[in-house]
Amino acid sequence: MRRPALFLLTSPFLMISSAFAMAQRDMSLSPGFDAAIDDPTSRRVSVCHGFGCRMVSEVTLGGADRARLAGIMAGAGSPAAERRAVAAATAWFDRRIAPVAGTKNHKARAGVEFTFAKSDGQFDCIDSSRNTTSLLRLLAGFKLLRHHTVGEPVARGFLVDGRMPHATAVLVEKKSGESWSIDTWVRSYGQAAEVMPLSRWEAGGGI
């Protein structure tokens, strides 16, 4: 089921700027954004799309979906292998949610060049970071993460500092404590997330 998140502004530029103003502060964006990251024990996942979580689609996952995720994550015997498996899981998840959310044709790095008439099926980085965090929490809830915990989404840049704003989902390696960016916004439909140390991502990597 798809529904609009009515609490957001109507201008694409103002919407994204407003979202990043809040994101830059503490990434506690709003009740609507936070609600998009479901309890991992639930089979229902709220998928944000249309820029700044303007649209929300509810996707129900069944036993076959859980088995598929378990198969993707199986055999990840090291932190590096687990991150590769997580990246593969993001590609599967993207394909799984597309028929419900209408996002099959989404493009990498989609920005305000998409009008509202064309953006329902696109993700900005707010949508992507929230959706990817939902998937990571789902994996953790299914006990499929052995080497990592799920961090909160992180934002960088806010125009006035000379950098375009961007947000990413985060995994934290248990053994080393190192944080890793799991960035799906820089990928098109069905492609695996870009994974890199968060410190490198914060310095401008990935764009």
Q: 35 or 109, which is more confident?
A: 109
Amino acid at 86: V
Q: What is the mean pLDDT of the chain?
A: 82
Using one digit for the tens of pLDDT, what is the confidence trace for 120-145? 999 999 999 999 999 999 999 999 99
**Cα torsion at 139, 86, 135, 190 (round to 10°)?**
-140
Using one digit for the tens of pLDDT, what is the confidence trace for 46-56? 999 999 899 99
Query: Which of 62-76, 151-165, 191-205 bottoms out in mean pLDDT, i.e. has the lowest?
Result: 151-165
Question: Which letter does DSSP use for residue 193 in this model?
Answer: P
